[in-house]
Structure 1
């Protein structure tokens, strides 16, 4: 078997092995560039809500809030929420604690009706709520941990708003468009678990093999072109009149 034939066979077999993944890369790239990232994030479904101004003079001091909450925070953040002003207190160890900036106590339980009302207020569009559920553990697609309220809307994208059960803030938005994008993203990076790892050995090896296909393809093309040119010149000389 000559070098050209051996190189051609290797090129074909390697291409057969990685060809499907190359198809995923190209197809996924097309999907991810064709869909605006704002649509993927559901930004077109987010209403513009103006936060209520904080009346700092009417709020207890942070020290008093920390005492009532029973927390010695190393970091504290005051912010507005749909349920009123809140402090996020981060202790030296453990998870941050969210309490009302008025009382220093955790907010009361959020009902399904309240979750639906807060979600509708944050939603841009005319679709009605199609489902409300308190999830004891946040789904993987949210990238969060702990419980969340999920409010579904009957729009064409099948939008879902995920709300904090403490403050009723919309922590993230998901939709059928996002899930389609996420599916192709996982195929693209060859991480079918959570789509977070794009430096794993499998994608590095596959990329290296794909690069070898491209390089060997150029080499084979050069060899074939050189051979064709040689044959063409020989044929011209053969038909040249004496």
Structure 2
């Protein structure tokens, strides 16, 4: 009688916990299936990135630095090479690799040209918009000033407003994938936190519900034997 009472309690707990676990289980399954629909290379739009042409190293001129730097890199920016310096204050500046002269921030017309030069797809650039470092778009999520180039196929290409470098390329599939990833980890706003109390709670409820269901399954199999 005691066993039957315990099993009846398991049944009731399994039913009630099942209601609580149903929503996250559906979301986890739905988001997981969605994220397998396209190869990750298509999601990232790797075929839409144009590989920069190599530059001739023998014609490079060192930058005319006016302050100490902690990092100096050479990058291809459209059809030219530029130096990008990072100072102790974390501020990044760019210099011409042809003359060594300092270059100012990227303006709108240059941002359009850089976005079109970096994009290898057939779609046309339809809009260009600047974002401040403290207000990055959700599909960029990097604290850098940027220009967002929007193409006709829905692709967003981000150009660093200080250095002219390509920060990211985001396809429509990437943004949908990113949303599903946020649902998968139960962080639909930031979409980065994979260790938080809500995920622990729902995961524990789903685990306990599964254990109760497994226990009841073996009990019913024994009762079904002749």
Normalising by structure 2, we get a TM-score of 0.87
Q: Name the SS of the counterpart of 2:36 in structure 1.
A: helix
Q: Name the SS of the counterpart of 1:142 in structure 2.
A: coil
The structure having more radius of gyration, on CA atoms, is 1
In the TM superposition, what is the alpha-carbon distance from 1:102 to its structure 2 partner? 4.2
Does the CA-based 8 Å contact 1:106-1:166 persist in structure 2?
no
Q: How does 1:59-208 map to 2 (within 5 A)?
A: 59-60=61-62, 65=63, 68-82=64-78, 84-137=80-133, 138-155=136-153, 158-208=154-204
Unaligned segments of structure 2, at least 5 residues: none
Does the CA-based 8 Å contact 2:77-2:114 persist in structure 1?
no
1:176-195 per-position Cα deviation (integer Å, ceiling 9, x unaligned): 21111111101100112211
Q: How does 1:31-50 map to 2 (within 5 A)?
A: 31-50=34-53
Going by fraction, where is strand more abundant, 1 or 2? 2
- CA, structure 1 residues 118+90, in 2 after alignment: closer, same or farther (shift >3 Å)? closer
Say if 2:217 is the partner of 1:221: yes
How big is the alpha-carbon RMSD for the aligned residues of Structure 1 and Structure 2? 2.2
Which aligned segments of 4 or more residues in structure 1 are displaced greater than 6 angstroms? none
In the TM superposition, what is the alpha-carbon distance from 1:198 to its structure 2 partner? 0.6
- CA, structure 1 residues 133+171, in 2 after alignment: closer, same or farther (shift >3 Å)? same
Aligned to 1:30: 33
What is the rounded CA distance, in whole Å, between the counterparts of 1:207 and 1:101 in structure 2?
54
Unaligned segments of structure 1, at least 5 residues: 234-242
In the TM superposition, what is the alpha-carbon distance from 1:71 to its structure 2 partner? 1.9
Deviates more, 1:174-183 or 1:130-139: 130-139
Equivalent residue pairs, number: 221
